[in-house]
Amino acid sequence: MEFEPATIQSASLYFGEGLEENEYHAAIAPKAGGFIVTFACYRHGGNLTVGSKTPDPLPLEVATRVYDRLIASKLAKGYHSCFPQHA
């Protein structure tokens, strides 16, 4: 039996400005012979939102580009890594 990791790559980001505090988590995960990019976002005091940026499995190279663009867009908005060594 072959082991399939739960995630290939992941990031946990945080945004805090004034009274607004948000967390954003993203990951590349294996699914059905390909890979999907999942996310979870949470505004403190609000509801958790989860979903997938790629509803259908993609090749790893394509999923990685989607993931990289997603993380870059969050960093451009002022989010920073919760764990800098994993950014």
**In whole angstroms, what is the distance from residue 71 CA to residue 11 CA?**
8
Q: Structural domain tally of the chain? A: 1
pLDDT at 19: 74
3 part of a folded domain: no
Is the residue at 68 inside a domain?
A: yes
Range list of H helices, 1-87: 60-76
Q: Which domain holds residue 45?
A: 9-86
Whether 27 is covered by a domain: the verdict is: yes
Position 13 in a domain: yes
Give pTM, 2 decimals.
0.84
Q: Does residue 41 fall inside a structural domain?
A: yes
What CA–CA distance (Å, rounded) separates 76 from 43?
A: 18
The pLDDT tens digits of the residues spanning 27-86 come to 999 999 999 999 999 988 889 999 999 989 999 999 999 999 999 999 999 999 976 544
Is 2 part of a structural domain of the chain?
A: no
Given this model, what pLDDT does residue 4 score? 58
Q: Decide: 50 and 38 in contact? Cβ < 8 Å.
A: yes
